[in-house]
């Protein structure tokens, strides 16, 4: 117990870093994914190809590789990101690609009649997307987005590779130093807590959207 | 008065509508009947601006008007879709007030007052706060009518108003449409139900599948 209290501060500070990366990635990648998904269903073919290529690139290569590429690779051509910014840059670009595909599915699930009905009521494209389409898409995509959000909590541990002190790294350091499994078990418990809270929040969001069918 | 002159519509090399001339007088009901595949719905979609015509002119009170591009704020054509296409995430009242507030820039209070009047007129006063999924088919249709009327159209169009409803509701729809006629509404009704169409029509238009390709 004494040992746990001793290492807990460093683990919690690691968890703080994990949370920061988690939240900023969501704040960046959800809107970006939405914009990309509108491009994916647009009638402008070159735009579609471009975004499809982007999605293929981001989903087709390991996130770990992307992290290494941004932090260790890009400086070779003169683009230097500090560690933390490099991590966010890679995570946002990567997750936006997954979200774009999820939103595309949601957008395509909206019946064409909804667009036509908005059109004969003379709503503009922007008004239709904002007032008619997005509220319905959000409801459709919540479960799949939730899946990615849970994944993100754990994916954030990949930042150890560019030397960021997150939760996993904090546990790893303590285990290596003190030769005990306890820190790793605590790390697992903290991840489980994070996912439990996230799952609860997602359920609440889902509930909030259950007022209509 | 709505006039169609030499309206032509093709899909690829198939001519669906060939040089059609048509006049709908103010306050009258035009029924468009014919077997499936004859192009009734296509004609209605041209009038409502959901399809672009390949030739011909539309005139409203003698003035030329292009339903496909006319996006100005004086709404000419209102539409009640076969499946109503209500917005499922909005209450009945919000369904009706959305376009008047966003497109006609009416104040929320004005739009709600107008919507409540329409709801009372269509026997829906108790349903303003309900969501579309909570209503019966006939009620949903009346909400769709109220939503279209809230934009104060010159002409109200229906696509197969009886087909999504119980057969015994047919007379209700007849009464409703004739009631709106008594209020002075000009209406165009597409139907494959000949008896229904004849019961309400001042003018009938029979469309036949086009032989020419």
pLDDT in tens, B191-207: 988 999 999 999 999 88
What are the tens digits of pLDDT across the range B163-188?
A: 888 888 888 899 999 999 999 999 99
**pLDDT at position B72:** 64
What are the tens digits of pLDDT across the range A90-127?
A: 999 999 999 999 999 999 999 999 999 999 999 988 99
Assess whether pLDDT exceeds 90 at residue B113.
yes
**Residue A94 belongs to domain spanning:** 2-208
Distance from CA of B35 to the nearest CA of A (A): 23
Asked whether residue A188 is assigned to any structural domain, the reply reads yes
What are the tens digits of pLDDT across the range A45-60?
A: 999 999 999 999 999 9
Angle made by CA atoms A75, A77, A82, in degrees to the nearest 5: 20
**pLDDT at position B70:** 67
- Cβ of B85 within 8 Å of Cβ of A119? The answer is no
Q: Is B95 left (phi over 0), alpha (psi -120 to 50) or beta?
A: alpha
Q: Give contacts of B49 with chain A, Cβ < 8 Å.
A: 119-120
Give alpha helix (H) positions in B128-212.
137-149, 170-182, 194-200
Averaged pLDDT of chain B: 89
What are the tens digits of pLDDT across the range B33-66?
A: 988 888 888 899 999 989 999 988 898 888 888 8
Q: Give contacts of B132 with chain A, Cβ < 8 Å.
A: 212
Asked whether residue A166 is assigned to any structural domain, the reply reads yes
* Structural tokens at position B1: 């008065």
The CATH number of whichever domain residue A63 belongs to comes to 1.10.3720.10
- Cβ of B71 within 8 Å of Cβ of A122? The answer is yes
- Cβ of B88 within 8 Å of Cβ of A212? The answer is yes
Distance from CA of B195 to the nearest CA of A (A): 28
Confidence of residue B71 (pLDDT cuts 50, 70, 90): low
DSSP B38: S
**pLDDT at position B213:** 42
ipTM: 0.90
B79 part of contact set with chain A, CB < 8 Å:
yes
Between CA A204 and CA A171 the distance in angstroms is 31
Asked whether residue A213 is assigned to any structural domain, the reply reads no
- Cβ of A131 within 8 Å of Cβ of B98? The answer is yes
Q: Out of A117, A131, A212, whose CB is closest to B131?
A: A212
How many domains, chain A? 1
Asked whether residue A60 is assigned to any structural domain, the reply reads yes
Assess whether pLDDT exceeds 70 at residue B210.
no
Q: Out of A119, A121, A213, whose CB is closest to B88?
A: A213
Rg of chain A over Cα atoms, rounded to whole angstroms, equals 20
Asked whether residue A131 is assigned to any structural domain, the reply reads yes
């Amino acid at each position: 117990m004494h040992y746990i209290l001793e290492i807990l501060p460093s683990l919690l500070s690691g968890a703080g870093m994990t949370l920061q990366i988690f939240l900023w990635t969501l704040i960046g990648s959800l809107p970006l994914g939405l914009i990309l998904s509108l491009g994916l269903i647009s009638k402008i073919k070159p735009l579609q190809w471009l975004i499809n290529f982007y999605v293929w690139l981001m989903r087709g290569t390991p996130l770990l590789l992307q992290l290494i590429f941004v932090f260790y690779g890009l400086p070779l051509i003169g683009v230097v990101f500090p560690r933390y910014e490099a991590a966010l840059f890679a995570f946002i670009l990567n997750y936006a690609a997954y979200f774009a595909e999820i939103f595309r599915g949601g957008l395509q699930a909206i019946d064409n009649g909804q667009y036509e009905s908005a059109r004969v009521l003379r709503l503009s494209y922007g008004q239709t997307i904002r007032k008619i389409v997005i509220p319905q898409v959000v409801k459709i995509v919540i479960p799949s987005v939730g899946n990615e959000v849970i994944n993100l909590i754990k994916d954030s541990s990949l930042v150890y590779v560019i030397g960021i002190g997150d939760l996993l790294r904090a546990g790893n350091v303590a285990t290596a130093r003190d030769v005990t499994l306890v820190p790793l078990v605590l790390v697992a418990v903290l991840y489980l807590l994070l996912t439990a809270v996230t799952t609860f929040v997602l359920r609440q969001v889902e509930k909030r959207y259950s007022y209509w069918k | 008065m709505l006039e169609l002159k030499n309206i032509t519509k093709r899909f690829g090399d198939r001519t669906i509508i060939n040089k059609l001339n048509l006049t709908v007088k103010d306050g009258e009901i035009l029924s468009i009947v014919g077997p499936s595949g004859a192009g009734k719905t296509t004609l209605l979609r041209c009038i409502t601006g959901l399809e672009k015509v390949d030739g011909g002119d539309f005139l409203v009170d003698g003035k030329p008007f292009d339903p496909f591009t006319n996006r100005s704020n004086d709404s000419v054509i209102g539409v009640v879709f076969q499946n109503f296409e209500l917005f499922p995430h909005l209450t009945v009242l919000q369904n009706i007030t959305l376009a008047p507030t966003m497109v006609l820039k009416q104040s929320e209070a004005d739009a709600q007052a107008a919507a409540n009047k329409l709801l009372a007129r269509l026997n829906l006063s108790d349903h303003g706060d309900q969501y579309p999924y909570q209503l019966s088919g006939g009620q949903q249709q009346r909400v769709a009518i109220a939503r279209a009327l809230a934009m104060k159209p010159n002409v109200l169009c229906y696509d197969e108003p009886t087909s999504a409803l119980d057969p015994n509701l047919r007379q209700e729809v007849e009464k409703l449409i004739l009631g709106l006629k008594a209020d002075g509404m000009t209406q165009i009704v597409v139907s494959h139900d000949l008896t229904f169409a004849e019961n309400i029509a001042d003018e009938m238009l029979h469309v036949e599948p086009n032989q020419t390709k």
